[in-house]
């Protein structure tokens, strides 16, 4: 079993839909990161969470430390949101352990 599990692996949505991507982890963490990667592109940090909820524009990230679970929500999705979304957890030793990523495609 991977230390960081994401679901779904692939997600196709219509423009305007509300999207949720889930992340569960099985190790002790210092913080959880949500990252975005476009095909052939670099990695952009969206959120870093250690508790509660954060919002930035149409993106919302939540974390439940007791349940070892985090969600990334996108409201009013747009084709430009199409990308790979990656959950990563900071572990002892100051490094990140990554989920496999969720490939999101938003159709217009």
Partner 1 sequence: NAGVMQNPRHLVRRRGQEARLRCSPMKGHSHVYWYRQLPEEGLKFMVYLQKENIIDESGMPKERFSAEFPKEGPSILRIQQVVRGDSAAYFCASSPSAWGTNYGYTFGSGTRLTVV
Nearest distance from residue 90's CB to partner 1, in Å? 2
68 scored as a contact of partner 1 (CB under 8 A): no
Residue 46: asked if its preceding bond is cis (omega within 30°), the reply is no
* Rg from Cα positions in the chain: 13
Which residue do the tokens 């959120």 mark?
Answer: 47
Q: Smallest distance, Å, CB 45 to partner 1?
A: 7
**17 or 31: CB nearest partner 1:** 31
Q: CA torsion 105→54→46→104, rounded to 10°?
A: -10
Q: Does 47 bind partner 1 (CB under 8 A)?
A: no
Residue 108 CB, nearest distance to partner 1 (Å)? Answer: 27
Residue 15: count other Cβ atoms within 10 Å of its Cβ: 13
Tokens encoding 66: 């007791």
Q: Check residue 13 for interaction with partner 1 (CB under 8 A).
A: no
Interface ranges with partner 1 (CB under 8 A): 30-31, 33, 35, 40-45, 48, 50, 86, 88, 90-91, 93-101
């Amino acid at each position: 079993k991977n230390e960081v599990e994401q679901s779904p692996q692939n997600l196709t949505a219509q423009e305007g839909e509300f999207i949720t991507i889930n992340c569960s982890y099985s190790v002790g963490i210092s913080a959880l990161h949500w990252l975005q990667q476009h095909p052939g592109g670099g990695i952009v940090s969206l959120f870093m969470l250690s508790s509660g909820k954060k919002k930035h524009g149409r993106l919302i990230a939540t974390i439940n430390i007791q349940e070892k679970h985090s969600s990334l929500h996108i409201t009013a999705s747009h084709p430009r949101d199409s990308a790979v979304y990656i959950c990563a957890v900071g572990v002892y030793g100051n490094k990140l352990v990554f989920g496999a990523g969720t490939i999101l495609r938003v159709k217009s």
